[in-house]
Amino acid sequence: EPEVTQTPSHQVTQMGQEVILRCVPISNHLYFYWYRQILGQKVEFLVSFYNNEISEKSEIFDDQFSVERPDGSNFTLKIRSTKLEDSAMYFCASSRVSQQYFGPGTRLTVT
């Protein structure tokens, strides 16, 4: 069964550094998403992406964040200058229509 994959599984970075989280969505999916889950809190929507542009973003998704689909398979989330409060599990998801399939997540630790 096709699945969403994410790399790396765990990323440790220093405050102020740039990080890129990578995702490979399911190949025939059209919609792509990033969510995050701060430890002990609910899963929060960050951004959705369709037809090579952002279709919706939350207030969390400020100018420090960007997304890109650089080729036909990868979908990336970049955090330009990480803060301590960016420490969280980041989930990528993809869908054809209504059902979203989630990847296993990348745990980002900002020190």
The footprint of another protein (CB under 8 A) covers 4, 31, 33, 35, 41-45, 48, 50, 55-56, 91, 93, 95, 98-105
Classify strands 106-110 and 10-13 as parallel, antiparallel or unpaired. parallel
- Minimum distance from residue 48 beta carbon to another protein (Å): 5
Contact assessment for residue 76 and residue 90, using Cβ atoms and an 8 Å cutoff: no
Q: What is the signed CA dihedral for 90, 96, 97, 103, rounded to 10 degrees?
A: -20
Please say which residue, 75 or 91, places its beta carbon nearer to another protein. 91
- Minimum distance from residue 30 beta carbon to another protein (Å): 10
